[in-house]
Structure 1
């Protein structure tokens, strides 16, 4: 199986899932099931920097709710 190489020359989109976990995805590809665009696109480095700025609590949403006593 061949690996896929991500380079800074490509454009990426920041994506988020229902658990409010972030990742990056190639802008020219359809989003994977379960992920939606988070409103930011750019180089790989720009997207990763954006994620570092906005994703302050890496716990999944369901865990955060459970720990706060709210229903998941």
Structure 2
């Protein structure tokens, strides 16, 4: 059986999870728990274009938040002269 994710003639969704990670998903398949449809139903290429345009930072949202908090803490510490 061919991989449904590689079907250039298929219909797809773009899904996003709580970590802001994106996934191309075949329209015939049930959307898994923890994922939300943010684009589609559309062609595979249109969905890939959406992902390329909208998922520019591959880091999970929790990592982005932790890094920002760490940077803010370091800046605060540097500003206090400690």
TM-score by length of 1: 0.83
If each structure's helix is expressed as a fraction of its own residues, which one has the higher value?
2
Partner of 1:29: 29
Q: Which consecutive unaligned segments of at least 5 residues does structure 1 have?
A: none
RMSD: 1.7
Partner of 1:50: 50
TM-score by length of 2: 0.74
Bigger Rg over Cα: 2
1-structure distance, mates of 2:3, 2:11: 14
Report the secondary structure of 1:40's partner residue. Answer: strand
Partner of 1:69: 69
Equivalent pairs counted in the alignment come to: 69
Q: Which consecutive aligned stretches of 4+ in structure 1 deviate over 2 angstroms post-superposition?
A: 2-6
